[in-house]
Homo-oligomer: A and B are copies of this chain.
Amino acid sequence: MTPLHPFDEAVRLSAHDGGGWAGRTHPAWGNMVGPFGGITAATLLNAAWIHPQRQGEPLALTVNYAGPVADGDFRIDAFAVRTTRSTQHWTMALQQGGEVAATATAVFATRRDTWAAGELAAPPAPAPEHVAPTPSPGRVAWSERYEMRFVSGAWPDFLQPAEVADSHSLLWIRDEPPRPLDALALAAICDAFYPRVFRRRSSFTPAGTVSMTVHFHADAAALAAQGSAPVLGSARGQRFAQGFFDQRAEVWGRGGQLLASSQQSVYFKA
């Protein structure tokens, strides 16, 4: 039996005795405290994705990180609240020890061919093979789960804090080890751009995502066509104030096709 990819191991769910789904955090996806938010987002999406009532493909996902997730077992409840001709609306919640640690909503949609236009072009970037992989800073396990080739805005040198004029990063990113792209992995990648306050101040500050939204632009076939090739990610903060900032991100695939656009609100201490 082929061992599962660590991503598939981490998002794996089984029927929970008390209803809903049972899951478990995976050490390969550890963050400073508890698991990487991106893997939690993917796991919440998976709870609807594998549900027998699910219709259509992911269109929108919002995950609210309500409290710390401890390493260990968790339970996810997922409910199809409303199904229309073209969309299906889900609400999800992740619990540990009877307390809700994350809430989420997802919209699944039945896609059909229509007029189409890509408006937001991918920023210019050298091909991934011409950009060297950046070693992970090694402070957290999850960053080892991605190969990141930074075109600009690599991990700051935390030893030399200095405020810089913008918080932008542009990078080629793929799962490590390589894994064919799907909506779950794409959702996780949208959270893989380290907190923009680190970049803006070139320093480490306690920070954590409070709420993340991902809008998906590609169906399963289009994502599968990406294979395990790197995708181009761009992330930047827009405003930092009063302990929070927003962070928007876009992910493009082959041929400069926009695959996902994302926005998150992040807590920081400073």
Contacts and interface: CB of A to CB of B under 8 A. Distances in A.
Given A64-B105, A211-B107, A263-B215, A166 B86 contact: no
Contacts of A139: none
Contacts of A213: 62, 211, 213, 263
Interface residues of A, number: 66
Contact of A62 (B87, B105, B217): B105
Interface stretch (A6-14, A116-124, A145-153, A172-180): A116-124
Contact of A239 (B101, B119, B239): B119
B91 A103 contact: yes
Contacts of A75: none
Interface of A: 59-60, 62, 64, 66-67, 81-82, 84, 86-87, 89, 91, 93, 99-101, 103-105, 107, 109, 111-120, 163, 166-167, 200-201, 210-211, 213, 215, 217-219, 236-244, 246, 248, 250, 257-258, 261-263, 265, 267-270
Given A111-B244, A120-B239, A246-B261, 16 more contacts: A62-B105, A66-B89, A67-B84, A82-B100, A87-B210, A107-B265, A114-B269, A114-B270, A115-B201, A118-B240, A119-B238, A120-B238, A215-B263, A217-B238, A239-B258, A248-B248
